[in-house]
Amino acid sequence: MFERSKFTLLASIAAIFVVSRFSSHIGPYYYDIIISIGINIILAVSLNLVNGYTGQFSLGHAGFMSVGAYTVAALTTAGTYTVLPRLAFLGPVVSISVYFGVSLLLGGLAAGIAGLLVGIPSLRLKGDYLAIVTLGFGEIIKVIIENVDALGGSRGFSVLTVYTNLFWVYSIAALTIFVVLNLVNSTYGRGFLTVRDDEVAAEAMGINTTKYKVLAFSLAAAFAGVAGGLYVQFKQFITPEGFNFMTSVSIVTMVILGGMGSTAGVVLAAILLTILPEWLRYISELPSLPAWLVPLLQNQMIPYSILLIILMLTRPQGLFGVAAVKRKPA
Amino acid sequence: MSDPGPLLELRDVTVKFGGLKAVSDFNFSIRHGELAGLIGPNGAGKTTIFNLITGVYHPTTGSIFFEGKSVAGKKPYLITKRGIARTFQNIRLFGSMTVFDNVRAAFNMHLRHGISHALWRGKGFRKEEVLVSKEAAELLDIFHLGDVRDAPCTSLCYGDQRRLEIVRALATHPKLILLDEPAAGMNPAEKTELMELIRFVQEKFKIAVLLVEHDMRVVMGICERIIVLDYGVKIAEGPAMEIKHNPAVIRAYLGVDEDEPTTPT
Amino acid sequence: MIEFLQQLINGLSLGAIYALIALGYTMVYGVLRFINFAHGDVFMIGAFVGLFAGPMVMRGFGGQPTWTGAFLVLIIAMVACAILGIVIEKLAYRPLRNRPRLTVLITAIGVSLFLENFGQLPFVFGPDPQSFPDLIGDHAITIPAMFGPLTDLTIMVSQVLVFVVTIVLLVALRFIVTRTKLGMAMRALSVNPVATSLMGVNNDVVISFTFGLGSALAGAAGILISIQQPSIDPLMGLQPGIKAFVAAVLGGIGNIPGAALGGILLGVIETLVVGYSDVLHIPPGYRDAVAFFLLILILLFKPTGLLGRVEREKV
C-alpha cells in the first residue's frame, strides 16, 4: 500500500521531469523568472518553518543561502578537473547530475551546520532580540566572506557552468514542501507549533523547546544553503553583498505575505513577489507612464517597503495565515 | 509491602529573588495518590512553589526529590518527563490548535518515532499516530469534550478550557498533577462539578494531586491534607478540620482583632 | 602612548555619535518595548536636512562658516527630525499599538527601507554621495608647546564640537527625564503603561514626545558626523544605526545612561580594534563585524546589558 505523501512527492517529481523536457521552448526571460520562482519557493517555505510554524523571528536567512552558494561554487569549480572526470564512466548526464547533486548536498550540509552554530547561542533569545542577533550573524557571515580572498572577497566569485535547470529547482522545491508539511502534520512536528503558541506551556507538556527551535533553524538553513547552491549554478556570479539584509527581508516578506504558518500561502506569496518586480519593471517601461513614476517602480525596494507597511497595517496575517490573538493592552 | 516513600519531597527549600525571599525553609511531601491542597493569602508564594516543583524556578537553597531522585534545577520538560504535570493560573492552551491537537501535542514526549519517521512515514509511524489519536480521543470523551474535538480551543467557554487544560496535562501520563487555581472564575455549580472531576482524576488515573486554590469550600471539600503558606513560610499543615480552626491560619487570612496585640498580616 | 591617546580621542568622538543615536533606540524601547528599525534613517535625514539648510544659513552669514550658523543648522535638523519621528510614530506605529510586537518590528523595517530607497531616487537625494558644507571651518587644533609630547596629537575642532554638543545634550536629556513632568511620565510609562494612563497621563502624548526627543538626538548626530565626515548618502544610516542599537543593548536596552555608556564603549573598542589591527591580527576589513561580535557576546553572557535589569516573565 503506497503511503500518500511519498506518492505525491514522487508523482510530482515525475511530472516535473516531463515538463522540464520542454523547457527549451520557454523563452530565456520567462525561464529566468520561473527558475527564480522555484528558488524563492525553497527559501520561503524553509524560512516559514522557523518564522511561521515555530514562531522564531529569523532575519538572517540570506546568510545561510550564501554559505550554501559559496560552498557549491567552490566545490563545482575545484572539482571540475579532479572529480568530474572520474565520474565520466557514468555518462555525461548522470555524471554531472551526481556531481551537482553531491555538491548541493554538501552545500546544504554546510549551511545546516552554520545554522546549528548560529542557532544554539541565539535561540535562547526571544522576539526582537532574536531578530537582531540573526541579522547580526547574517552580517558577520557576509563580512567573513568579504575577507576571504580565495572566495573572491567583495569582488565576487564566478563559476563557469550552469548546472541548475527546471528539474533540479522544482524537484527540490517539491522536496522542501514535502519535508515541511510532513513534519508539521505529525505528532512529532506538532512540537514546533507548541513552541510558537506558548513556550512555557510546551515545556510543561514535556516538549524540549530548545531542541525544536534549533532543529527548525538548522533544517531551514540547510534548505537555504541548497537554494544558494542552485542560485550560483544559475546566475554564475555571486557577491557577499548579494546576500545582505535586504535579501533576508525579501524572503521574510514572502513568509509574512503568505501568512506565517501556511505553506500554501507562502508558496503563492513567493510566486507573486518574484513576479512583482518584473511586472513593475514592465509597467515602468510603458511609454504612456508619467516620468516621475518610473524610478519609483524600478527600485523594487520602494513598492516592497510600502507593501510591507500596508500589509502590517491592514492584514498582518497575510493571505492565508491565522489572525493572531490580539494582545491585551495591559 | 514496603513503603515506597513520598512521591514528591521538598526539603528546606528557599527561593530568593534579588533581596526578596519568596519562599523560606519550606518542607513538604506528598504521597502517591494523595490529594493535597496548598492555600494561603495572595502573594504567599503558592504559585512560586508550583514553579519550583516544575522547574520554572530553581531553589536558591534546599532540595526537591521526586520518586527519590533530585529534580531541583532541571529543565521543565525533563521534570514533566519524570511524571509531574501542571495547569496554569491563567489558562495557557495552544491557541492556534484545535481541542484535539492540544491533547495530541501532549503525547509528544511519549513518542518513539522521531523526525526521520515523520518524514518517511513507515508502518511503525502510522501505527503510533493512530494510537496517539485514539488515546487522545478517549481522554476527551471521558471528560465530555469529545464532541468539540475539532473546534479551535479558543472557541470553548472558560470552564471547558480549564477542563481541556487538565485533559492535556493528563495526556503526559503524570504521577503527580499540579492544578493552579482550577476553580477560578467558576460559578458554584461548576465548582461542584470540578470537585467531582478532581476526585475522579485522582481515583481513575491513580495519581497524586496538588491543588492551589482560594475557594475554601473546594479545598476543604476534597483535600485530604492542607498546607497553609503565608509570606513564603509554612504556617500550618493537616487535615481540613484542623486547618479550619487553626488560629495562625485564621490570623493570616482575616487579620487580628483590634484589641489584640497586632501581628503583621 | 601617543598613538593610544590618539585612537582614544578618535574613538570617543565616534562613540559620542553612537551614544546620541543609541539614546533614541533605548528611549523608544523603554516606553514601547519595540526596536525602532527606522531610527538610523532618521539620523540620515538629519544629515540631509543639514545639506540643504547649511548653504542657506551660511548665505545669511555672508557665505562664511560661523559658530552661530552651525548651531542654527543643528537646531533646524533636530527640529525637522523630531517632527519626522513623531509623524512616523503616528502613521505607522500607533495603529499597531495592541498588535504583537513582531508586527510593529516588521512595519519599522518597512519604514526604514522606504526612507532609504526613496532617498535614493534621483529627484530626492539620489544614490550618490554628496558633500556636506563646511559649517565651522574644520581644522586641527594647535596644541600649545607646553604640553610636550601631546603636541603630536591631532585633535580636530569638529571632534571637540561633537564631544561638547553630546555632553550638553546628555545633560539636557537627563534634566528632562528626571526633573520634568514629561520625563517622569516617560519613566512611568516604561514600567507600567496602564497604571500611568490611570494616573491621568495621556500616553499618546508622552510616546510622541519620546519619539520626538530620540529623533532630535539622532538628527543632531547626523549633523555632527557630517561635519566630521562630509560625504553623505541615503544609506549612511544603515551601519551606524545597527551599531548604535548594539550600543544600546550593550548598555542595557531601556536604560538611558546605559545607552550613552554603550555608545562610548562601542566607539572606543571599534576604533582601537581597527587602530591596532596588526597587533591583534584582525584585518581592518572586519571593522563592521566588531559591533556584531560584541552584540553576540553580550546577548550570550549578559543579555540585560551592563546597566540593565532582569525582567521576569510571570508564569
pLDDT in tens, C239-273: 898 899 889 989 988 888 899 999 999 999 999 88
Per-residue confidence (pLDDT) for residue A178, from 0 to 100:
93
Closest among B185, B225, B227, B168 to B49, alpha carbons compared: B227
Q: Of C35, C95, C116, which has the smallest distance from its Cβ to A128's Cβ?
A: C35
Pseudo-torsion of CA A245, A251, A252, A257, nearest 10°?
Answer: 140
Which residues of A fall within a CB distance of 8 Å from B88? 200-201, 204
Please list the residues that pair with B238 across neighbouring strands.
Answer: B226
Instruction: List the single residue in A with minimal CA-CA distance to C32.
Output: A329
Residue, of C86 and C279, whose pLDDT is higher: C86
Closest among C132, C45, C40 to C81, alpha carbons compared: C45
Q: Model confidence over A117-134: pLDDT tens digits?
A: 999 888 888 777 888 889
What is the grid cell recorded at C143? 596644541
Interface contact flag, A206 B106, Cβ < 8 Å:
yes
What is the grid cell recorded at B39? 492555600
Q: How far apart are CA C81 and CA C47, in angstroms?
A: 10
Closest among C45, C188, C1, C287 to A146, alpha carbons compared: C287
In a shared domain, residues B161 and B179: no
How many Å lie between the alpha carbon of A285 and the closest alpha carbon of chain B? 45
Cβ–Cβ pairs < 8 A, chains A and C: 127
Q: Which amino acid is at A111?
A: A
Please list the residues that pair with B17 across neighbouring strands.
Answer: B20
Give the number of other Cβ atoms within 10 Å of residue A127's Cβ: 17
Residues 6+ apart with CB under 8 A from A34: A26, A166
Q: How far apart are CA C54 and CA C77, in angstroms?
A: 10
Choose from A141, A292, A301, A313 for mutation: most chain C CBs within 10 A. A313
Please list the residues that pair with B226 across neighbouring strands.
Answer: B37, B238
Which residues of A fall within a CB distance of 8 Å from C96? 312-313
Q: Of A188, A203, A325, which has the smallest distance from its Cβ to B114's Cβ?
A: A188
Per-residue confidence (pLDDT) for residue B265, from 0 to 100:
43
Per-residue confidence (pLDDT) for residue C315, from 0 to 100:
60
Residue, of A103 and C289, whose pLDDT is higher: A103
Pseudo-torsion of CA B75, B76, B82, B86, nearest 10°?
Answer: 170
Does residue C148 come out as left (phi exceeding 0), alpha (psi in the -120 to 50 range) or beta? left
**What is the distance of C-alpha A281 from the center of its chain?**
23
With respect to residue B138, please indicate whether it lies within any of the assigned structural domains. yes
Does the pLDDT of residue B66 top 80, yes or no?
Answer: yes
With respect to residue B88, please indicate whether it lies within any of the assigned structural domains. no
Which residues of A fall within a CB distance of 8 Å from C312? none
CA angle A71, A76, A81 (to 5 degrees): 140
Instruction: List the single residue in A with minimal CA-CA distance to C301.
Output: A121
Q: If 0-12 CB within 10 Å is exposed, 13-18 middle and 19+ buried, where does residue A179 land?
A: buried
Is some CB atom of chain A closer than 8 A to the CB atom of C191?
no
Is some CB atom of chain C closer than 8 A to the CB atom of B200?
no
What is the grid cell recorded at A108? 546544504
Q: Of C103, C122, C285, which has the smallest distance from its Cβ to A295's Cβ?
A: C122
Residues 6+ apart with CB under 8 A from B161: B91, B93, B153
Q: Of B93, B122, B129, which has the smallest distance from its Cβ to A186's Cβ?
A: B129
In a shared domain, residues B59 and B178: yes
- A43-61: average pLDDT: 93
Q: Which domain holds residue B155?
A: 94-172
Instruction: List the single residue in C with minimal CA-CA distance to A317.
Output: C103
Q: How far apart are CA C230 and CA A329, in angstroms?
A: 45
What is the grid cell recorded at B167? 485533559
Does the pLDDT of residue C46 top 90, yes or no?
Answer: yes
Per-residue confidence (pLDDT) for residue B262, from 0 to 100:
47
Interface contact flag, C92 A309, Cβ < 8 Å:
yes
**CA quadruple C167, C168, C170, C174: dihedral positive or negative?**
positive
Does the pLDDT of residue C39 top 50, yes or no?
Answer: yes
Per-residue confidence (pLDDT) for residue B134, from 0 to 100:
94
- In this structure, of A292-296, B135-139, B210-214, C163-167, the range with the lowest mean pLDDT score is A292-296
Q: In B, residues 80-99, which contact A (CB 8 Å cutoff)?
A: 80-81, 85-86, 88, 92-97
Q: If 0-12 CB within 10 Å is exposed, 13-18 middle and 19+ buried, where does residue B196 land?
A: exposed
Interface contact flag, C315 B51, Cβ < 8 Å:
yes
Proportion of chain A above pLDDT 70, given as a percent: 97
Q: Of B94, B101, B119, which has the smallest distance from its Cβ to A179's Cβ?
A: B119
Interface contact flag, B93 A201, Cβ < 8 Å:
yes
Please list the residues that pair with B179 across neighbouring strands.
Answer: B211
Is some CB atom of chain C closer than 8 A to the CB atom of A125?
yes
Q: How far is CA A330 from CA A199, B92, C90, C197, C204, in A?
A: 20, 17, 20, 11, 15
- C66-90: average pLDDT: 92
In a shared domain, residues B16 and B139: no
Cβ–Cβ pairs < 8 A, chains A and B: 113
Q: How far apart are CA A197 and CA B98, in angstroms?
A: 12
Q: How far apart are CA C154 and CA C145, in angstroms?
A: 14
In a shared domain, residues B76 and B37: yes
Cβ proximity of C202 and C213 under 8 Å: no
DSSP string, C198-222: HTT--HHHHHHHHHHHHHHHHHHHH
Residues 6+ apart with CB under 8 A from B154: A325, B93, B95
Is some CB atom of chain C closer than 8 A to the CB atom of A305?
yes
Q: Of A182, A198, A207, which has the smallest distance from its Cβ to B108's Cβ?
A: A207
What is the grid cell recorded at A248? 533576508
Q: How far apart are CA B119 and CA B125, in angstroms?
A: 9
CATH number, residue B35: 3.40.50.300
CA angle A146, C289, A241 (to 5 degrees): 35
Identify the residue whose cell numbers are 543593548: C249
Is some CB atom of chain A closer than 8 A to the CB atom of B239?
no
Which residues of C fall within a CB distance of 8 Å from B88? 315
DSSP state of B148: G
Q: In B, residues 53-92, which contact C (CB 8 Å cutoff)?
A: 56, 88
pTM metric for this prediction:
0.88
Does the pLDDT of residue B1 top 60, yes or no?
Answer: no
Please say which residue of B125, B141, B172 terminates a domain: B172
CA angle C93, C99, C100 (to 5 degrees): 110
Give the number of other Cβ atoms within 10 Å of residue B20's Cβ: 8
Q: Where are the beta strands (DSSP E) in chain A?
A: 157-158, 237-238
Q: How far apart are CA C147 and CA A238, in angstroms?
A: 53
Interface contact flag, A312 C123, Cβ < 8 Å:
no
What is the grid cell recorded at A44? 520561503
Q: How far is CA C208 from CA A25, C82, C91, C182, in A?
A: 58, 9, 11, 11
What is the grid cell recorded at A109? 550540509
Interface contact flag, A308 C110, Cβ < 8 Å:
yes
Please say which residue of B150, B172, B194 terminates a domain: B172
Does the pLDDT of residue A326 top 50, yes or no?
Answer: no
Per-residue confidence (pLDDT) for residue A1, from 0 to 100:
45
Query: Residue C295: which pLDDT band, with cuts at 50, 70 and 90?
Result: confident
Per-residue confidence (pLDDT) for residue A95, from 0 to 100:
84
Q: Across chain B, what does the average pLDDT equal? A: 87
Domain count, chain B: 2
Does residue C35 come out as left (phi exceeding 0), alpha (psi in the -120 to 50 range) or beta? beta
Residues 6+ apart with CB under 8 A from B42: none
In a shared domain, residues B194 and B75: yes
Beta-strand pair B61-66/B8-17 = antiparallel
Q: Which helix (H) or strand (E) holds B39?
A: strand B35-39
Per-residue confidence (pLDDT) for residue B257, from 0 to 100:
57
Instruction: List the single residue in A with minimal CA-CA distance to B96.
Output: A197
Cβ proximity of B20 and B26 under 8 Å: no
Per-residue confidence (pLDDT) for residue A125, from 0 to 100:
81
Give φ, ψ of B8 to 5 degrees.
Answer: -130, 135
Per-residue confidence (pLDDT) for residue C276, from 0 to 100:
83
Q: Model confidence over C109-148: pLDDT tens digits?
A: 899 999 998 888 877 888 888 888 888 777 887 777 777 7
Per-residue confidence (pLDDT) for residue C312, from 0 to 100:
56
Q: How far apart are CA A310 and CA A326, in angstroms?
A: 18
In a shared domain, residues B179 and B255: yes
Rg (CA), chain C: 20
Q: Which helix (H) or strand (E) holds A43?
A: helix A28-48
Q: Of B77, B94, B122, which has the smallest distance from its Cβ to A198's Cβ?
A: B94
Query: Residue B87: which pLDDT band, with cuts at 50, 70 and 90?
Result: very high
Q: How far apart are CA A309 and CA A307, in angstroms?
A: 5
Q: In C, residues 136-175, which contact A (CB 8 Å cutoff)?
A: none
How many Å lie between the alpha carbon of A100 and the closest alpha carbon of chain B? 24
Does the pLDDT of residue B19 top 50, yes or no?
Answer: yes
Interface contact flag, C292 A305, Cβ < 8 Å:
no
Per-residue confidence (pLDDT) for residue B258, from 0 to 100:
53
Which residues of C fall within a CB distance of 8 Å from A138? none
Interface contact flag, B17 C312, Cβ < 8 Å:
yes
Choose from C26, C99, C109 for mutation: most chain A CBs within 10 A. C109
Secondary structure tally for chain C: helices H, strands E:
12, 2
Instruction: List the single residue in B with minimal CA-CA distance to A2.
Output: B122
Closest among A124, A110, A123 to A64, alpha carbons compared: A110
Residues 6+ apart with CB under 8 A from B257: none
3-state secondary structure of C114: helix
Per-residue confidence (pLDDT) for residue C120, from 0 to 100:
86
Q: Of C102, C117, C295, which has the smallest distance from its Cβ to A305's Cβ?
A: C117
Q: How far is CA B124 from CA B111, B130, B131, B134, B189, in A?
A: 11, 10, 11, 15, 45
Q: Across chain C, what does the average pLDDT equal? A: 87
**CA quadruple A158, A162, A168, A170: dihedral positive or negative?**
positive
* H helix runs in B89-150, sequence order: 99-105, 115-120, 123-142
Please say which residue of B153, B172, B191 terminates a domain: B172
Which residues of B fall within a CB distance of 8 Å from C312? 17
How many Å lie between the alpha carbon of B228 and the closest alpha carbon of chain A? 25
Does the pLDDT of residue C21 top 90, yes or no?
Answer: yes
What is the grid cell recorded at A13? 517529481
Please list the residues that pair with B16 across neighbouring strands.
Answer: B21
Please list the residues that pair with C240 across neighbouring strands.
Answer: none
How many Å lie between the alpha carbon of C10 and the closest alpha carbon of chain A? 23
Per-residue confidence (pLDDT) for residue A26, from 0 to 100:
83
Does the pLDDT of residue A327 top 60, yes or no?
Answer: no
